[in-house]
Amino acid sequence: MPDMTDSKALAGKVAIVTGAGRGIGAAIAAGLARSGATVCCAARTTAEIEATAARIGDAGGEAFAQAADVTDAAAVEALYRAVAARCGGFDTLFINAGASLDQRRVEESDPTLFERTLQVNLIGAYHCARLAIPHLRARGGGRMVLIGSGMGHNSLNGHAAYSCSKAAVWMLVRILANELRGDNISVNELVPGPVRTSMTATQLDAGGVIGSPVEWVKQPEDVVPLALMLAGYPAPGPTGQSFSLMRRTS
């Protein structure tokens, strides 16, 4: 496989990262650009993704911002059309946009927040993946990486909505991998484990997410090397797999 420490290993490739305004998404977008890809930074908040794209540009990379709400299929299709018009298509998609809006047990949960969490994490991932297929197929193949969670494999009390949504995302990865195996489109899950972001800082400080004294609490940049490996692995490469940066098994 290519040496992903080579700053131009992804030269000529076009990548889309959803949820690229901050945290893990912003770090992955910057890493892809450092490796030579042209990166579309997508999210609902225009100011955040414009800031991410500007930082990438200031560092010598190629990036642009395109606002999109992943829960809206029409907005996702408009995102892809905009990228195709500007860049001729795209090769890599990181489905990263996520939310954890109800951090309670099922009995105490808020049905509206529970449903909204699933809308962002699962239905948003579904829209992004489904609508990307013809675009990737037109390029002769490509890479989809869905950002999963250890809580989608082994849940913790008080995170029912998030855990259910991420468990479904892991199943979606395996379904897509099987369906697209003949199209040279690989689909894999990246499980970052605990990462200190604006969404998780309070939970990490409270000690409620780690679950083990040996866990590795990361910064967003610590996720980038694995993301670049999955983006740059040559065909056919792995598909239908979960790649984890966690240090615990349950």
- As annotated, the active-site residues are 162
Q: At what angle do helices 111-118 and 160-179 cross, to 10 degrees?
A: 30
Decide if 210 contacts 217 (C-beta within 8 A): yes
Do the beta carbons of residue 197 and residue 22 sit within 8 Å?
A: yes
**What CA–CA distance (Å, rounded) separates 10 from 19?**
21
Map tokens 């605990």 to a residue: 194
Q: Residue 112 CA to chain centroid, in angstroms?
A: 24
Q: Nearest Cα to 217, choosing from 227, 230, 232, 207?
A: 207
Structure tokens at 34: 């450092």
Angstrom distance (rounded) from CA 74 to CA 118: 18
Tokens 């866990």, residue located: 215
Residues 93 and 145 sit within 8 Å (Cβ to Cβ): yes
What's the rounded Cα separation, in Å, for the pair 129 and 22?
21
- Which of 134, 121, 218, 208 has the alpha carbon at shortest distance from 163? 121
Q: Are strands 242-244 and 185-191 parallel, antiparallel or unpaired?
A: parallel
